[in-house]
Amino acid sequence: VVWGIVTGNPAMADNKALFHADHKNLEGTGAALSVDAVGKGRTAMAKQTGLDKKTVLNIRPAFLIVPAALELKAEQMVAQNIVPAETQNVVPQSIRTLSPIAEPRLDTVSDTAWYLAASPNQIDTIEYAYLEGQQGAYIETRNGFDVDGVEIKCRLDFGAKAIDWRGLYKNPGA
């Protein structure tokens, strides 16, 4: 459900897609996953403004979300134990603290696009809910009369929706 929102890029309340140039959370020219590209995304997130269009929110990414095709690259980027031979190849600590999330369902849409996401403790982005507050699966059981056994019925009433674009950033990759 949540990955469908990320890949489906639904319209928000302003009738613009979740990832849109007007939201300043979509890179216009895709770039391969790199320190410079992540730095550009981090800057875009930091410059997001509040509802008054004036208050700078300084949103910091916490997660680097990649398709499975970029998992190794993401892990190498945030690895704490790699010491580069040249100073220009040093990965800043602020990028090393990102938690990589590799999701193979992203590969079906693009194996080059990557995302940054803020911590849900900083800003809400995608919200999920259960029907009538049911926290998890609803399970009913009944003993069989015609056969020896137990019948089990299970359902999960769950939904999700993107509620704010400012905590997410997309780079279409290259």
pTM of the model: 0.85
Residue 82 lies in a domain: yes
Residue 49 tokens, joined: 């403004």
pLDDT means per 10 residues, the chain with 174 residues, are 94 97 96 95 97 95 98 90 70 88 97 97 93 85 86 90 97 96
Residue 66 lies in a domain: yes
Residue 155 lies in a domain: no
Determine the structural domain holding residue 19 and report its residue range.
2-121+165-171
pLDDT of 95: 86
Residue 6 lies in a domain: yes
Question: Whole-angstrom Cα distance, residue 124 to residue 118?
Answer: 8
pLDDT of 82: 67
What angle is formed at CA 78 by the lines to CA 74 and CA 81, rounded to 5 degrees? 125
Residue 102 lies in a domain: yes
Integer distance in angstroms from the first to the last C-alpha of the chain? 26
Residue 15 lies in a domain: yes
Contact between 146 and 97 under an 8 Å Cβ cutoff? The reply is: no
Residue 127 bridge partners (DSSP): 161
Q: Residue 160, CB half-sphere, CA atoms under 13 Å: how many?
A: 15
Residue 137 lies in a domain: no
Residue 111 lies in a domain: yes
pLDDT of 133: 72
Domain count, the chain: 1
Residue 131 DSSP one-character state: G
